[in-house]
Homo-oligomer: A and B are copies of this chain.
Amino acid sequence: MANKHRVVIIGGGFGGLGAALRLKHAPVDVTLVDRCNYHLFQPLLYQVATGTLSPANIASPLRTILKSHKNTRVILGEAIRIDPANRQVILSDGAILYDTLVIATGSSHQYFGHGEWERFAPGLKTVEDATDMRRRILLAFEAAEREQDSEQLKALMTFVIVGGGPTGVELAGALGEIAHDTLRQDFRNIDPSKARIILIEGTDRVLPAYPSGLSAAARKMLERLSVTVRTGAMVTDVQNASVTVREGDRSETIPTRTILWAAGVLASPLGRVLSEETGATLDKAGRVIVEPDLTVPDHPEIFVIGDLASFSHQTGKPLPGVAQPAIQQGKYVAGTIERRLRGEKTRPFHYLDKGNLATIGRAAAVADLNWLRLSGLPAWLIWIFIHLFYIIEFQNRLLVLVQWAWLYLTYDRSARLITGKNPLPLDL
Residues in A lying within 8 Å of B, measured CB to CB: 35-38, 54-57, 59-61, 63-64, 67-68, 73, 75-78, 91-94, 127-128, 131, 138-139, 142, 145-146, 183, 185-189, 393, 395-396, 398-399, 402-403, 406, 410, 412, 414-420, 422-427
A421, chain B: closest CB distance, angstroms:
8
A38 with B417: CB separation less than 8 A: yes
- Which of B36, B395, B403 is within 8 Å of A418, CB to CB? B36
Residue of B nearest to A423 (CB): B76
Residue of B nearest to A416 (CB): B61
B93 with A414: CB separation less than 8 A: no
* Known contacts A93-B426, A399-B399, A414-B56; A128/B420 CB under 8 A: yes
- Which of B61, B186, B399, B403 is within 8 Å of A417, CB to CB? B61
A395 with B399: CB separation less than 8 A: no
B93 with A63: CB separation less than 8 A: no
Q: What are 22 A-B pairs at a CB distance below 8 A? A: A35-B422, A37-B417, A54-B55, A54-B56, A55-B417, A56-B414, A61-B186, A63-B187, A67-B185, A67-B186, A75-B145, A76-B424, A92-B424, A93-B427, A127-B417, A395-B403, A395-B410, A395-B412, A395-B414, A398-B406, A399-B399, A399-B402
- Which of B37, B93, B396, B425 is within 8 Å of A416, CB to CB? B37
In the bound complex, how far is the Cα of B78 from the Cα of A146, in angstroms? 13
**What is the copy number of this chain in the assembly?**
2
Sorted nearest first, the 9 A-B pairs with minimum C-beta distance are: A93-B425, A54-B54, A56-B415, A63-B186, A67-B185, A73-B188, A76-B142, A92-B425, A395-B406
Specify which of A64, A131, A139, A422 lies most central, judged by the most chain B CB atoms within 10 Å of its CB. Answer: A64
A425 with B73: CB separation less than 8 A: no
- Extra pairs beyond A54-B415, A92-B425, A131-B419 (18, CB < 8 Å): A37-B142, A38-B416, A54-B54, A54-B55, A55-B419, A56-B417, A60-B414, A64-B412, A73-B188, A75-B145, A76-B418, A76-B424, A77-B425, A94-B146, A127-B417, A395-B406, A398-B406, A402-B402
A47, chain B: closest CB distance, angstroms:
12
In the bound complex, how far is the Cα of B63 from the Cα of A91, in angstroms? 46
Specify which of A37, A185, A187, A423 lies most central, judged by the most chain B CB atoms within 10 Å of its CB. Answer: A37
A135, chain B: closest CB distance, angstroms:
10
B402 with A61: CB separation less than 8 A: no
Chain B residues positioned under 8 Å from A59 (CB to CB): 417
Residue of B nearest to A409 (CB): B395
B128 with A76: CB separation less than 8 A: no
In the bound complex, how far is the Cα of B76 from the Cα of A51, in angstroms? 18
A61 with B414: CB separation less than 8 A: yes
In the bound complex, how far is the Cα of B56 from the Cα of A403, in angstroms? 11
Residue of B nearest to A188 (CB): B73
B128 with A419: CB separation less than 8 A: yes
